[in-house]
């Protein structure tokens, strides 16, 4: 597949689900991709990308952004609290707000720095021990706590278990978001983004279908 093909499939999925054309944002997941592949996608006019680690993004995106000022980078991977400052300074959106300690760190730093990018709360819809995220039953209270801290929480994010039907997880995330009056849903990856759009995804995270295979491969996009 390619950027053009993925974009075309997103358009078809938008039409099928009754979404407005262009309402779903495609995040090209550039983690562990060679710079020449990322540059090729930038040169095609796509400017929204996703990274998993602060250190990798720091080594890649300042230079790219100097050449492509419209480029925006979303954090899609887990974040240690001691890297919260760097994350706020580097990323244009954070999809992995996953615990109270990190929320408190972001709130303190936002006051100090005077800005904070929009954020998604990550929900561990499959209750998997190896994955970060708020348990579904704790989402309501976590959202309330984030709002009390004045964090710009805009939506929810999930990564469904690889061995389960993704639809049930997309449906659960949509239900939780609606209950908490959150308009945005970050869900859907290379193999299931069309299905995610049918369940209301506003942001899809697609890597290998755009860039090709990468090493190492992880389940974060």
**Each residue of 129-153: pLDDT tens digit?**
999 999 999 999 999 999 999 999 9
Whether the predicted pLDDT of 214 surpasses 80: no
Rounded-to-integer distance, Cα 192 and Cα 15, Å: 16
pTM: predicted TM-score of the whole model, two decimal places: 0.93
59 Cβ contact list (under 8 Å, min separation 6): none
CB 73 within 8 A of CB 87: no
C-beta atoms surrounding 15 within 10 Å: 12
Nearest Cα neighbor of 60 from 94, 30, 28, 92 is 30
More confident residue, 167 or 218: 167
Write out pLDDT tens, residues 15-48: 999 999 999 999 999 999 999 999 999 999 999 9
């Amino acid at each position: 597949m390619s950027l053009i093909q993925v974009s075309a499939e997103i358009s078809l999925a938008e039409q099928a689900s009754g979404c407005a054309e262009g309402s779903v944002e495609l995040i090209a997941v550039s983690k562990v991709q060679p710079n020449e592949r990322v540059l090729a996608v930038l040169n095609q006019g796509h400017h929204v990308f996703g990274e998993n680690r602060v250190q990798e993004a720091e080594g890649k995106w300042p230079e790219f952004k100097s050449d492509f000022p419209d480029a925006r980078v979303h954090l899609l991977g887990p974040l240690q609290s001691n890297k919260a400052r760097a994350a706020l300074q580097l990323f244009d959106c954070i999809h992995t707000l996953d615990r109270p300690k990190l929320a408190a760190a972001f709130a303190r730093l936002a006051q100090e720095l005077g800005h904070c990018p929009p954020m998604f709360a990550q929900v561990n819809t499959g209750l998997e021990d190896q994955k970060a995220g708020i348990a579904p039953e704790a989402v309501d209270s976590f959202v309330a706590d984030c709002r009390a801290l004045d964090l710009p929480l805009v939506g929810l994010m999930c990564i469904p278990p690889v061995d389960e039907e993704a639809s049930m997880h997309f449906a659960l995330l949509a239900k939780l978001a609606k209950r908490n009056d959150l308009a945005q849903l970050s869900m859907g990856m290379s193999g299931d983004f069309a299905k995610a759009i049918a369940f209301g995804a506003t942001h899809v995270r697609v890597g290998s279908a755009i860039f090709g295979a990468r090493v190492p491969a992880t389940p974060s996009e």
